Amino acid sequence: MINLKQSISIVLFVFILGIQSGNSQNNATVLTLKNDKSAPVISKHIYGHFAEHLGRCIYDGFYVGENSVIPNTNGVRNDIIAALKELKIPNLRWPGGCFADTYHWKDGIGPKEDRPSMVNRWWGGVVEDNSFGTHDFLELCEVLGTEPYLAANVGSSTVQEFTEYVEYVGHKGGSPMADLRNENGREKPWNVTYWGVGNEMWGCGGNMTPEYYANIYRQYATFMTDWTNSDKLFRIASGANVADYHWTEVLMRDIPKNLIEGVALHSYSFVKWEKKGSSTKFNEEQYFATMKTALRMEELVNKHSDIMDKYDPENKVALIVDEWGGWYDVEEGTNPGFLYQQNTMRDAMIAGTTLNIFNNHSKRVKMANLAQTVNVLQAVILTEGDKMLLTPTYHVMKMYNVHHDAQLLPISFEGPAYTYGGETLPALSVSASKDKNGLVHVSLVNIDSKKENKVEIDLKELGIGKFTGTILTSAKVEDHNTFNNPKNIVPKEFKNFKVKKNTVEITIPPFSVIVLEGK
């Protein structure tokens, strides 16, 4: 039996512990939103996508051809167009990936029946007939109202082929390439801003050293122009593989700042690279391991940014995470080179936490591209014949699009841990912003697979008091949408919060994503 004196000391001890860990008296994590006018704007381009000539992303994904019975616009499925418009995708990276450094753009223009074929040497060795080429892609971007990001060939190209590509899409008329474009049915230039100068040059782009690539990059970038002398091109150097900090260091050191606008970074989430496991059948150990690699993005962004700060204290060069997402074994019976995988609540956790990291680092991170849009890796859309489904990742991206171009509200908190097998991860991930209409949005993720977590948002600095909420959650973390049950997981209205004077208290169920809107 404990006596009165002992119980008072226990209460006091718990209370002090609560204060030290940033918890309120009801054991909620206290989040303080700061109305900092100097905080960066979250670039909408953080919510970008990526479509490679890989497996069923372009062919039998986006593109079914003009003669398909599936309703389409110039061969692109209308249901995909509608879903991506709804998502408000800000940019789309194309045509690779590794495919980019094998792609010769002139093979994909002109009458489709005259286009030469090639073998897709990286992805399944299938024959690529080039029926979806530059006009098809750039017209699709116009239909979607999204900005194209052309990842152009350096690894197996020449400076001439590369610069002619820039001229073909961007010269206003009266040049050899603009005339060729005109002959192919397009008089007006497209004015493509975002250009990738090769992809994964440390690997499939040519197995280069960073020193060698930095020189090659300088050469290619020198001849790139938007042909107006105002040079609005945004040139993105092929960036580091995960924690290869030396790569970023050399690029930032050796490339003059007048030749570069962005440096890329690629990082995927998985259980183990050598043993990825199923996308839908996984245990807690595998879930925890995947989340560990996903949350590593915070450290990667911090450390790559530190190097960039050293060489670019004025913050002129952006960090572009142009490939990220979950990577598992392909679905049974599908081509191993096609990277087709399902998408569960685990992927919703990867999406929610990663986007929060990008939002919170929006000073340096100005663009990111989820890999990949349709039928490949952490896709937002899956198709089967004429059927289409939206994945949990799609719903997270849509819930989060309220952050597009909104001002970041920096947050400080010390949250609870998610513990498994003696290891811990932060259970909570949060970011917040204020949009042009004064609406405040807070996106919260609880990755804990078993425990709910309580949060108390301190609103003193914001002067808002009315809230609405949306939640993405499910009974099991392996749950997903199928072609027979495409609406198994959809966002729902969320009401499990209490608004008090200057605070709002929320209980976040295990493995859930919540977005609150306050005014």
Catalytic residues, by residue number, are 200, 323
Cβ nearer to ligand AHR, comparing 371 with 471:
371
Is 97 one of the binding residues for ligand AHR (CB under 6 A)? yes
Residue 54 Cβ vs ligand AHR, minimum distance, rounded to whole Å:
6
Among positions 37-56, residues that touch ligand AHR (CB under 6 A) are 52
Is 390 one of the binding residues for ligand AHR (CB under 6 A)? no
Cβ nearer to ligand AHR, comparing 94 with 168:
94
Q: By CB under 6 A, how many residues form the interface with ligand AHR?
A: 10
- What phi, psi does 69 have (nearest 5°)? -75, -15
Cβ nearer to ligand AHR, comparing 29 with 91:
91
How many angstroms separate the Cα of 122 from the Cα of each of 52, 98, 196, 204, 352?
Answer: 11, 7, 19, 8, 30
Cβ nearer to ligand AHR, comparing 102 with 407:
102
Piece in contact with ligand AHR (CB under 6 A), picked from 8-16, 92-100, 174-182, 467-475:
92-100
Contacts of 67 (CB under 8 A, 6+ apart): none
Cβ nearer to ligand AHR, comparing 206 with 415:
206
What is the per-residue binding string for ligand AHR in 113-152, x denoting contact by CB under 6 A? Answer: ----------------------------------------
Is 200 one of the binding residues for ligand AHR (CB under 6 A)? yes
CB 387 within 8 A of CB 375: no
Which SS3 state, helix, strand or coil, does residue 461 take? coil
Among positions 240-259, residues that touch ligand AHR (CB under 6 A) are none
CB 64 within 8 A of CB 70: yes
Q: Which amino acid is at 424?
A: T
CB 445 within 8 A of CB 439: no
Piece in contact with ligand AHR (CB under 6 A), picked from 90-98, 141-149, 343-351, 501-509:
90-98
Is 322 one of the binding residues for ligand AHR (CB under 6 A)? no
Which runs of consecutive H residues, i.e. helices, occur in 106-254? 134-144, 159-170, 176-183, 210-222, 245-254
- Within 10 A of 336 (CB to CB), how many other CB atoms are there? 10
Binding residue for ligand AHR, selected from 371, 380, 390, 514, defined by CB under 6 A: 371
CB 154 within 8 A of CB 219: no
Cβ nearer to ligand AHR, comparing 330 with 457:
330
- Evaluate the CA torsion angle 310, 315, 317, 320 in order and state its sign: positive
Residue 31 Cβ vs ligand AHR, minimum distance, rounded to whole Å:
34
What is the per-residue binding string for ligand AHR in 276-315, x denoting contact by CB under 6 A? Answer: ----------------------------------------
Rounded Cα gap, residues 470 and 350, in angstroms: 18
Residue 99 Cβ vs ligand AHR, minimum distance, rounded to whole Å:
6
Residue 397 Cβ vs ligand AHR, minimum distance, rounded to whole Å:
17
Residue 267 Cβ vs ligand AHR, minimum distance, rounded to whole Å:
10
- Within 10 A of 487 (CB to CB), how many other CB atoms are there? 8
Rounded Cα gap, residues 169 and 167, in angstroms: 6
Cβ nearer to ligand AHR, comparing 238 with 401:
238
The residue at minimum Cβ distance from ligand AHR is: 97
- Evaluate the CA torsion angle 337, 54, 297, 200 in order and state its sign: positive
What is the three-state SS of 89-102?
A: CCEEEECCCHHHHH
Is 154 one of the binding residues for ligand AHR (CB under 6 A)? no
Residue 7 Cβ vs ligand AHR, minimum distance, rounded to whole Å:
58
Binding residue for ligand AHR, selected from 102, 199, 429, 449, defined by CB under 6 A: 199
Contacts of 116 (CB under 8 A, 6+ apart): 107, 130
Binding residue for ligand AHR, selected from 60, 323, 456, 458, defined by CB under 6 A: 323
Look at the chain and count its residues. 519
Pairing of strands 411-412, 29-33: antiparallel
Residue 118 Cβ vs ligand AHR, minimum distance, rounded to whole Å:
16
The residues that touch ligand AHR, with contacts defined as CB under 6 A, are 52, 96-98, 199-200, 323, 371-372, 377
